């Protein structure tokens, strides 16, 4: 019962797993697991994830267009033109928006053309309006030469037929929908949304809508975890607060595992409830427990398991610890099993000047929540202090930085990389 310097897991059995190792263990175990796909209309596809490469069925643009208001010319007719030695070119016609040009451009002639107008056959460049002087309705002076292709977007310049317009596994932002609309793709195949079951346990926990009685605490984790999952595109089922009696807990976790792609339970900071969580994961199917306890503060008692192909996370009861474990472990697992393969820039971070010393015990990764202020273009990070479990510290934080396992802390004025809460 005395302490010792050797890291041990929650049950005193073995060394704690390092955070990157824990993450790799569960991600490796899940590699290749993807949701099924479904077809949705393009206008319903915002923030969904493409389930297959989407191939351009045509060139974009599908014919050459002007990118300027001006005159469609044969570029060679302008060579050597200048303010003092303009080239004279006959205006043989005009391109109207939305219409095919009537006729073609010959040497020595040009067509007036608006931005976006189709470049007529024979023309290979557009002279900007600003580089011309109108002599009369039928003749212009060109005062600057243009090379072939100038001010023209050619057929296929944006994207070519048969090119991959959007790769599989990509989050569909507004701009991807725009590209697909430009290609006339009106419906696409996306991964179906993953479903996540959330439950809280602990005989002391009551729903936040119920009156508080002495000894009880309100359920904070369910609404925080459900919100964090929804923001990552998942559908969430809240299984409420489950008694930590063995029968009730096992049957609810079993039901949640059967009904969802991922299950989160939280609470059970007591050793008894942690045992229960571990037993539930082990009993529900192989491979069972993957990680039990990590060298992390806060968040050490996290349990990560896999029941068949369904990841199950036992998160600490303290809301702050639960959120730290969510960010470090659950978030990348959700990205992976949602089918995302574009997640390299998923967690934006900013460098910031640390405003006070922060100590850290070697041998564990420390997650330090900070509030940010912007002074003269520089971010300043002030650690948000508070007792373990203080949910207000999360609300006051703009993000967090990490103190590596082998570090004893960070000093004031040091630059730290702050991972931003969205």
User: Which parts of 274-313 interact with its own copies (CB under 8 A)?
Assistant: none
- Count CB atoms within 10 A of the CB of residue 149: 14
Interface region with its own copies, contact rule CB under 8 A, candidates 14-22, 73-81, 329-337, 370-378: 370-378
Q: Which residues contact 155 (CB under 8 A, 6 or more apart)?
A: 59, 61, 62, 63, 64
Structural tokens at position 223: 């609404």
- Count CB atoms within 10 A of the CB of residue 308: 11
90 binds its own copies (CB under 8 A): no
Question: Shortest approach of its own copies to residue 18 CB, angstroms?
Answer: 18
β 87-94/139-142 pair status: antiparallel
In 268-393, beta strands by DSSP E:
287-292, 296-297, 303-307, 310-315, 349-354, 358-359, 365-375, 378-383
Structural tokens at position 319: 């809301």
Question: Shortest approach of its own copies to residue 350 CB, angstroms?
Answer: 6
If we measure between CA atoms, which residue out of 338, 337, 368 comes closest to residue 354?
368
Structural tokens at position 228: 């964090």
Question: Shortest approach of its own copies to residue 370 CB, angstroms?
Answer: 11
Of 248-277, binders to its own copies (CB under 8 A) are 269-271
Rounded to whole angstroms, the Cα distance separating 117 from 95 reads 6
The residue (of 97 and 258) whose beta carbon lies closer to its own copies is 97
Interface region with its own copies, contact rule CB under 8 A, candidates 73-81, 111-119, 258-266, 283-291: 111-119
Most distant pair of Cα atoms in the chain: their distance: 100
Which of residues 90, 130, 378, 413 is near its own copies by CB under 8 A?
130
**What x-and-dash track marks residues 29-58 binding its own copies by CB under 8 A?**
-------------xx--xx----------x
345 binds its own copies (CB under 8 A): yes
Rounded to whole angstroms, the Cα distance separating 247 from 404 reads 40
The residue (of 301 and 339) whose beta carbon lies closer to its own copies is 301
115 binds its own copies (CB under 8 A): yes
Of 168-207, binders to its own copies (CB under 8 A) are 173-179, 181-186, 202-205
Of 378-407, binders to its own copies (CB under 8 A) are 386-392, 394-395, 397-398
Interface region with its own copies, contact rule CB under 8 A, candidates 16-24, 191-199, 332-340, 346-354: 346-354
- DSSP result, 306-346: EETTEEEEEE-SSHHHHHHHIIIIIHHHHHHHTT---GGG-
| Bridge partners of residue 401, in order along the sequence | 368
- Angstrom CA distances, 203 to 176, 217, 223, stand at 48, 10, 18
Of 140-169, binders to its own copies (CB under 8 A) are 143, 153, 157-159, 165-166
The residue (of 306 and 322) whose beta carbon lies closer to its own copies is 322
Which of residues 14, 351, 411, 413 is near its own copies by CB under 8 A?
351
Which of residues 133, 258, 361, 404 is near its own copies by CB under 8 A?
133
The residue (of 257 and 379) whose beta carbon lies closer to its own copies is 379
| Residues comprising the chain, all counted | 422
| Bridge partners of residue 274, in order along the sequence | none
Structural tokens at position 151: 């001010």
Of 217-246, binders to its own copies (CB under 8 A) are 217-221, 223-228, 230-231
Of 402-421, binders to its own copies (CB under 8 A) are 420-421
Rounded to whole angstroms, the Cα distance separating 346 from 323 reads 17
């Amino acid at each position: 019962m005395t302490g010792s310097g050797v890291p041990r897991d929650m049950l005193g059995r073995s060394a704690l797993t390092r955070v990157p190792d824990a993450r790799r263990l569960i991600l490796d175990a899940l590699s290749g697991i993807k949701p099924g796909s479904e077809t949705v209309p393009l206008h319903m596809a915002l923030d969904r994830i493409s389930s297959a490469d989407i191939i351009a069925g045509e060139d974009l643009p599908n014919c050459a267009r002007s990118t300027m208001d001006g005159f469609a010319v044969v570029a060679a007719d302008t060579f050597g033109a200048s303010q003092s030695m303009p080239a004279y070119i006959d205006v043989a016609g005009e391109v109207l928006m939305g219409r095919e040009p009537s006729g073609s451009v010959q040497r020595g002639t040009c067509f007036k053309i608006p931005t976006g107008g189709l470049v007529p056959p024979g023309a290979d460049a557009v002279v900007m309006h600003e580089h011309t002087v109108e002599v009369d309705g039928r003749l212009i002076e060109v005062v600057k030469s243009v090379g072939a292709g100038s001010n023209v977007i050619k057929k296929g310049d944006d994207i070519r037929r048969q090119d991959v317009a959007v790769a599989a596994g990509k989050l569909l932002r507004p701009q991807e929908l725009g590209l697909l609309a430009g290609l006339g793709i009106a419906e696409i195949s996306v991964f179906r949304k993953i479903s996540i079951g959330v439950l809280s346990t602990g005989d002391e926990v009551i729903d936040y809508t119920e009156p508080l009685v002495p000894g009880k605490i309100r359920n904070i984790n369910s609404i925080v975890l459900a919100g964090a999952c929804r923001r990552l595109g998942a559908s969430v089922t809240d299984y409420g607060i489950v008694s930590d009696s063995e029968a009730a807990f096992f049957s609810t976790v079993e039901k949640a595992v059967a009904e969802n792609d991922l299950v989160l339970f939280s609470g059970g900071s007591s050793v008894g409830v942690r045992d229960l969580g571990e037993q539930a994961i082990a009993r529900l199917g192989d491979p069972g427990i993957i990680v039990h306890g990590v060298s992390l503060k806060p968040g050490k008692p996290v349990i990560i398991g896999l029941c068949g192909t369904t990841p199950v996370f036992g998160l600490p009861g303290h809301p702050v610890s639960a959120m730290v474990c969510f960010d470090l472990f659950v978030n990348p697992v959700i990205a992976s099993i949602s089918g995302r393969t574009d997640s390299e820039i998923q967690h934006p971070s900013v460098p910031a000047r640390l405003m006070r010393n922060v100590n850290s015990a070697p041998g564990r990764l420390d997650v330090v929540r900070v509030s940010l202020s912007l002074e003269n273009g520089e971010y300043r990070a002030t650690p948000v202090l508070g007792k373990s479990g203080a949910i207000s510290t999360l609300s006051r934080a703009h993000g967090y930085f990490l103190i590596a396992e082998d570090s004893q802390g960070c000093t004031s004025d040091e630059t730290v990389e702050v991972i931003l809460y969205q």
